Amino acid sequence: MSQENVEIVRRASESLGRRDWDGTPDLFEPNVELHGTVGGIGEGQIVARGLGEIRKVIETEDDEIWDDHRIEPQEFIDAGDRVVVLQREYQRGKGSGVELVLDTATVVDVRDGRIVRLQGYMKPAEALEAAGLSD
């Protein structure tokens, strides 16, 4: 089952990377939760619940903060009912033009073939630890 979870997360990541929100609903639980990034300003908060809210949060942040913001998955790591996505983020600040390239991670919880929770991490090592893996 865990390899199936990796494929579910990979498909969701590919669709969301293309901003194809309509191609993903079957991959997410209706009440999927997006939690604030550990090490970021939203840490410890549920940022959005449901794919519609998640879409609104991501699109609003991208429109208001970034001229360019891309997340490119580098590796999908099987952790049973969790998948750790090691990723590279490319960001260019709106107005400032400051460019950043960051290695971050997301821990994705999958239950019964659907994504139920997303938790970002500024530090990939912390994501691996949270998923019970060591780097």
At 124, is the secondary structure helix, strand, or coil? helix
pLDDT, position 111? 96
pLDDT above 90 for 120: yes
Long-range CB contact pairs, 130-135, < 8 A, 24+:
130/38, 131/77, 131/79, 131/82, 131/84, 131/107, 132/79, 132/80, 132/82, 133/77, 133/79, 133/84
Q: Please state which of the four CATH numbers 1.20.120.10, 3.40.50.300, 3.30.2390.10, 3.10.450.50 is assigned to the domain occupying 2-130.
A: 3.10.450.50
Could you report the per-residue pLDDT of 93-118, keeping only the tens digit for each?
Answer: 888 888 989 999 999 999 999 999 99
Residue 86 in contact with residue 73, Cβ under 8 Å?
yes
Check: CB of residue 129 under 8 Å from CB of residue 116: no
User: Which of 6-10, 94-98, 126-130 bottoms out in mean pLDDT, i.e. has the lowest?
Assistant: 94-98
Whether the CB-CB separation of 104 and 5 falls below 8 Å is answered with no
Lookup: tokens for 121: 């991490």
Find the mean pLDDT for residues 15-41.
88
Checking if the pLDDT of 61 tops 90, the result is: no
Res. 1: pLDDT tops 60: no
Give percent above pLDDT 90 in the chain. 57
